Amino acid sequence: MRFRPEKLVIEEAVAETSLVQRVLAVLPHTPVIWVGRVKETKGPRDEQVLEIVKFRGRFIKPCPGTRSYICCGYQILNLGIKCSLGCTYCILQSYFPSPNLRLFANLEDMWQQLRDHLGSFRNRVHRFGTGEFTDSLLLDPLTHLSADLVPFFAGEANAILELKTKTTQVESLETLNHRGHTVVAWSLNPDGVIASEEAAATSLDDRLEAARRCQEWGYRIAFHFDPLLVHPNWQQNYTEVVSRLFSTVDPRGIAWISLGTLRFMPALKPIIQQRHPESTILHEEFVPGLDGKMRYFRDLRVEMYRHLNELLKKGCEDLCIYLCMESEDVWTEALGFTPEERGGLCAILDRQALP
């Protein structure tokens, strides 16, 4: 599953950057096409291509939550877009116009923006993540970016970095000085769901084993049951996932666990139907949410959250469990409290964030 591009398309403006030099050193025989500027096309993804470009936007963005639902309030550190794992439900299929996996190489701009951001809000807790628009560790064997990011955050008293992944590419984390300021997180689903909807990602056991290794290296870990998917025997299958989770990792070292059911913009539906005709994830009934995204009917969402919450709390009473993009009434019904009662979701996670 390790991604090895067969062709690199690189913008000339970033030819001398350290990131490009690193990628070229790892892939010395991969053909390179040098271009002035990568063309924005709408066609299907070329699975063999990795584009490396100069990013002209903001590297730091707030999590794209909406006012209608309660957001975790973390900041996206945007180092690239798209992913090669091809999960059927992936929102990235409709989120960006450009189809190919793309890295941003002008990291000096990124570091500057990061330092400026941290400097502007010294008294705040900063939770950053690189796994919103791509998988955080998918390209790490090519870029070795974690070797820069992890020590950087180790030196920031009020900031943490969350690396979200469905891979097991954690080797480079072993020797890094993280000082507890990096949380490594995996998205979890039952084996059957992984086989049908996340076919190019690693198995559940492999993800949990990678998490265990990170714990051994002193990292705090996190899990995202997101998207939770309705499927035959979902209760039993998620019970099995939770059981394997607790038998593999030490729950005391889990920073947080999020729960979120499948949701998607309506534009994604025909894309899923066209690209993944065998997928059954759209068979369940959906209603438009307050943010325009399609969601499971709320009673079903509550049922799923309750089920997972009970299992997780049974395994470890003190776990920090939160819902991703849900309303107060769903929080109350599913978890028995609203974030507001505890100072708000951002505050809850901020308290959890720092070591």
Does 300 help bind another protein (rule: CB under 8 A)?
yes
Does 327 help bind another protein (rule: CB under 8 A)?
yes
Q: How big is the chain by its Cα radius of gyration, in Å?
A: 20
Place of tokens 């989770």: 245
Q: How far is CA 338 from CA 67, 323, 324, in A?
A: 15, 10, 13
**Least distance CB 169 / another protein (angstroms):** 36
Among 62, 64, 155, 288, which residue interacts with another protein (rule: CB under 8 A)?
Answer: 288
Nearer to another protein, 1 or 300 (CB): 300
d(CA 257, CA 220): 12
- Contact characters 329-348, another protein, x per CB under 8 A: x-------------------
**Least distance CB 328 / another protein (angstroms):** 7
Nearer to another protein, 46 or 328 (CB): 328
Size of the site for another protein (CB under 8 A): 18
Among 115, 195, 287, 342, which residue interacts with another protein (rule: CB under 8 A)?
Answer: 287
**Least distance CB 213 / another protein (angstroms):** 41
Instruction: Kindly give, in sequence order, each residue whose CB lies less than 8 Å from that of residue 323, ignoring residues fewer than 6 positions away.
Output: 70, 258, 259, 260, 305, 330, 331, 334, 335
Nearer to another protein, 147 or 300 (CB): 300
Q: How many CB atoms lie within 10 A of CB 40?
A: 9
Residues of span 247-286 touching another protein by CB under 8 A: 273, 280, 282-283, 285
- Contact characters 67-106, another protein, x per CB under 8 A: -x--------------------------------------
User: Which letter does DSSP use for residue 318 in this model?
Assistant: T
**Least distance CB 286 / another protein (angstroms):** 8
Residue range at the interface with another protein (CB under 8 A); choices 133-141, 193-201, 325-333, 346-354 = 325-333
Among 328, 344, 347, 348, which residue interacts with another protein (rule: CB under 8 A)?
Answer: 328
Nearer to another protein, 188 or 268 (CB): 268
Burial class (CB in 10 A: 0-12, 13-18, 19+), 348: middle
d(CA 333, CA 302): 7
Q: How far is CA 143 from CA 25, 165, 169, 212, in A?
A: 10, 15, 12, 24
Tokens at 240, concatenated: 């099995």
**Least distance CB 296 / another protein (angstroms):** 8
Burial 267-281 (b: 16+ CB within 10 A, else e): ebeeebeeebeeeeb
**Least distance CB 297 / another protein (angstroms):** 4
- Number of helices followed by number of strands (H, E) in the chain: 12, 16
**Least distance CB 270 / another protein (angstroms):** 10
Residue range at the interface with another protein (CB under 8 A); choices 25-33, 52-60, 139-147, 292-300 = 292-300
Residues of span 39-68 touching another protein by CB under 8 A: 68
Instruction: Evaluate the CA torsion angle 197, 236, 227, 218 in order and state its sign.
Output: negative
Among 25, 157, 267, 290, which residue interacts with another protein (rule: CB under 8 A)?
Answer: 290
CA nearest neighbour of 2 among 202, 212, 203, 223: 202
Judge contact between 74 and 60, C-beta under 8 A: no
Residues of the shown chain interacting with another protein in the complex, contacts defined by CB under 8 A: 68, 273, 280, 282-283, 285, 287-290, 295, 297-300, 327-329
